[in-house]
Amino acid sequence: MELISESRCFDGMQGVYRHASAATGCDMTFGLFLPEEARQGPVPILWYLSGLTCTHENAMTKAGAQGWAAEQGIALVFPDTSPRGEGVADDDAYDLGQGAGFYVNATKTPWAPHFRMWDYLAEELPALIGREFALDMDRQAICGHSMGGHGALTLAMGLPGRFTSVSAFAPIANPSASDWGRKQFSAYLGEDKTTWAPHDATLMMREKGLDVPVLIDQGGSDQFLDLLRPEALSEAMVARRQEGNFRVQKGYDHSYFFISTFMEDHVAFHAEALYA
């Protein structure tokens, strides 16, 4: 593992690291914020999964999460959104290929050799950071935005018992019924829609739900509402009687201004579960 940078931040340390990934077959980069308490021993972890076009850097520099995490003594992990580099398949469109991994294991060419983001986030990266840093791997929570909100919800439901809590900002809530999903799932997984269901938060919520609390924030003036389909997830949560809170924030859009406004709430929500 290669250290790219370290910066002191709220009495902790914000680092950026690169490593060779067996899951994706290329070098992967991630950010990790360690609060001051990590000097004394392992601390709980909050994963933050980013959205379309993002790298590890977007949330790390724009979400305003480190200050709130430092107050709670929580580490923050900022993974990349896809494999990258020479020889990694890509597409001219912003919503397919590099920067648009959708947190799935692709099975179709040309994506299958590298686009294995589910394995990377479910297995490889947790194992790596658990070995290398002062982290309490028995206390993990997960959050994400847009495509990353989709990833946070589906990973939490697909890995029961892994996370103490899950939250999302404007998640792609029902990708099987949206152009932000049908296009990518067809490319990565093929036309058999039974392979899509384990990566659709609404379908998963209807089938299994979560045994941990959920917090969803959706901007009421989000320019992508028709693609996100928040109403489908909300209806599924009500039908499931899922423990959680689904909030529509009047006047907010899809941007990091929205995320940074409510990040304190999300970190506090996860801290309550992580320290329960």
Helix (H) or strand (E) segment spanning residue 8: strand 2-9
Could you give the CA distance from residue 16 to residue 31 in angstroms, rounded to a whole number?
4
Helix (H) or strand (E) segment spanning residue 232: helix 230-240
Residue 265, classified by CB atoms within 10 Å of its CB into exposed (0-12), middle (13-18) or buried (19+), is middle
Could you give the CA distance from residue 120 to residue 37 in angstroms, rounded to a whole number?
27
Active site residue 146: yes
Active site residue 255: no
Residue 92, classified by CB atoms within 10 Å of its CB into exposed (0-12), middle (13-18) or buried (19+), is exposed
- Beta-carbon neighbour count of residue 93 at 10 Å? 10
Q: CA distances (Å), 261 to each of 181, 266, 272, in order?
A: 27, 10, 19
Which of 21, 50, 82, 146 does the annotation list as catalytic? 146
Give me the DSSP letters along 136-177: EEEEEEEEEETHHHHHHHHHHHHSTTS-S-EEEES----GGG
Q: Which two tokens stand for residue 221?
A: 């003036």
Distance of CA 166 to the CA centre of its chain: 10
Which of 50, 80, 222, 266 does the annotation list as catalytic? 222
Contact 78, 31 (CB under 8 A): yes
Residue 20, classified by CB atoms within 10 Å of its CB into exposed (0-12), middle (13-18) or buried (19+), is exposed
Active site residue 270: no
Which of 114, 145, 150, 254 does the annotation list as catalytic? 254
Sheet containing 244-249: order of strands: 2-9, 12-21, 26-34, 75-79, 43-49, 135-145, 166-169, 214-219, 244-249
Active site residues: 146, 222, 254
